[in-house]
């Protein structure tokens, strides 16, 4: 069993989920709210986790997390947390469920309203306490189990990134067993999400060599093992490496992310399309690799090296080919985004927190061109 002591304590290996009761006891959590979604319940993973706990089915479960977690869903989950007398949160699922769990823990510890904590207005200073969180990922993509933030679609239509070291879960339990049998399309989308996290964290101009080194290692693992994981859902070695790459991607992006995420967040807030975050990142990544090319040539060479490619490889083209091989959409248009939507998307991308750490400045005119190119 690997124990990763970076940002938080992460228990990592097959069978790690069995450590949940002991970790809750250490935290003094006796009645956690379990935040998840209906897909996790249908896959039987909720039962696996509840089966490790003496209270089992007596625990309150919120399984109405939408694909892009919303403020409305967060408030519903928080009401259940309060009415059930909870004292902590277990986030079980992909990034959506873990992010919603973090939002509930923030409200439980520091009160509402949620937009009071918007980091773009200095809201992180209002965070006094956060209820204990144990995060258990069931996909290998977001790395929310070790990340400093969470993303919520607000009632006013904005998709906000909330970030503070206080939002890092107290404990992460990464059990690759929970990802065995994940469908190929979801494996591909979440896996390319991890690839994007590593690449954008590396390219961020923020100086943090340890985090950058972790990003290179995560990228190396993800690029080498994603095809095997997609091809065979029972490949234990591939699943182990993909989950490690996902966790490392979030460890790396303490440096910040970039324009891929700014655009992805802008498109992911569209209620009618309900676009998957990891798929958006995969589709947008080639466009931003072209946009940023030339700003950090040494990093581009090291990215190619980590991916096992020649130094002067066209990284944007390499990602485009990999997306095609994995069966991912060819562009935003294939996901339902139209040219008429671009004007609405641009201001949200400009205002997004990730724009601040893109290596090349991007304004409204740039984002208009980028969205058009990504179609």
Comparing CA positions, the residue from 226, 252, 244 lying closest to residue 308 is: 226
At a CB cut-off of 8 Å and minimum separation 6, what does 292 contact? 203, 258, 259, 358, 359, 360
- Give the pLDDT score at 56: 63
Same domain, 159 and 239: no
SS3 201: helix
CA 317 to chain centre: 24
The H-assigned helical ranges of the chain are 20-27, 38-42, 45-50, 71-83, 95-110, 184-203, 209-231, 236-252, 259-268, 277-292, 297-306, 315-326, 342-351, 364-374
Dig out the tokens for 201 from the structure.
Answer: 């964290």
293 shares a domain with 215:
yes
Count of structural domains within the chain: 2
Q: How many angstroms separate the CA atoms of 127 and 122, rounded?
A: 10
CA dihedral sign of residues 257, 259, 263, 269:
positive
Domain boundary among 130, 149, 178: 178
Q: Are residues 210 and 89 part of one domain?
A: no
Range of the domain at 52: 2-178
Whether residue 174 is found in the same domain as residue 247? no
| pLDDT in the model for residue 372 | 98
Residues 218 and 367 in one domain: yes
Which pLDDT score is estimated for 120?
Answer: 82
Rg (CA), the chain: 19
In terms of domains, do 43 and 111 share one?
Answer: yes
Per-residue pLDDT of the chain (375 residues), as tens digits, is 888 888 899 999 999 999 999 999 999 999 999 999 999 999 999 999 999 998 767 899 999 999 999 999 999 999 999 999 999 999 999 999 999 999 999 999 999 999 999 888 899 999 999 999 999 999 999 999 999 999 999 999 999 999 999 999 999 999 999 999 999 999 999 999 999 999 999 999 999 999 999 999 999 999 999 999 999 999 999 999 999 999 999 999 999 999 999 999 999 999 999 999 999 999 999 999 999 999 999 999 999 999 999 989 999 999 999 999 999 999 999 999 999 999 999 999 999 999 999 999 999 999 999 999 999
* Domain final residue, candidates 150, 178, 206: 178
N-term to C-term CA, the chain? 44
């Amino acid at each position: 069993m690997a124990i990763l002591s970076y940002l938080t304590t992460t228990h990592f290996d097959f069978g790690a989920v069995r450590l949940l009761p002991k970790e809750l006891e250490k935290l003094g959590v006796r009645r956690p709210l379990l935040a998840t979604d209906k897909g996790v319940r249908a896959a039987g993973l909720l039962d696996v986790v509840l089966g490790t706990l003496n209270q089992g089915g007596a625990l309150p479960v919120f399984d109405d997390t939408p694909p892009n977690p919303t403020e409305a869903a967060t408030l519903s989950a928080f009401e259940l947390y309060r009415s059930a007398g909870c004292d902590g949160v277990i986030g079980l699922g992909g990034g959506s469920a873990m992010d919603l769990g973090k939002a509930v823990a923030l409200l439980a510890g520091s009160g509402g309203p949620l937009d009071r904590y918007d980091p773009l207005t200095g809201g992180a200073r209002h965070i006094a306490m956060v209820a204990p969180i144990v995060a258990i990922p069931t996909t290998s993509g977001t790395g929310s189990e070790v990340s400093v933030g969470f993303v919520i679609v607000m009632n006013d239509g904005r998709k906000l990134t909330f970030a503070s070291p206080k939002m890092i879960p107290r404990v992460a339990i990464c059990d690759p067993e929970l990802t065995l049998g994940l469908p190929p399309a979801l494996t591909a989308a979440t896996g390319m999400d991890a690839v994007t996290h590593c690449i954008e964290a590396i390219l961020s101009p923020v100086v943090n060599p340890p985090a950058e080194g972790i990003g290179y290692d995560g990228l190396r693992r993800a690029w080498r093992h994603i095809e095997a994981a997609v091809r065979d859902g029972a490949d234990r070695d591939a699943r182990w490496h993909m989950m490690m790459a996902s966790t490392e991607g979030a460890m790396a992006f303490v440096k910040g992310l970039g324009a891929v995420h700014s655009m992805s967040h802008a498109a992911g807030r569209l209620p009618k399309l309900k676009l998957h975050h990891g798929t958006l990142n995969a589709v947008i990544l080639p466009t931003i690799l072209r946009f940023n090319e030339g700003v950090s040539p040494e990093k581009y060479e090291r990215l190619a090296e980590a991916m096992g490619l020649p130094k002067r490889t066209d990284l944007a083209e390499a990602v485009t080919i990999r997306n095609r091989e994995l069966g991912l959409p060819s562009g935003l248009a294939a996901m339902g985004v139209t040219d008429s939507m671009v004007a609405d998307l641009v201001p949200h991308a400009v205002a997004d927190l990730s724009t601040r750490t893109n290596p090349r400045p991007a304004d409204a005119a740039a984002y208009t061109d980028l969205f058009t190119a990504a179609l």
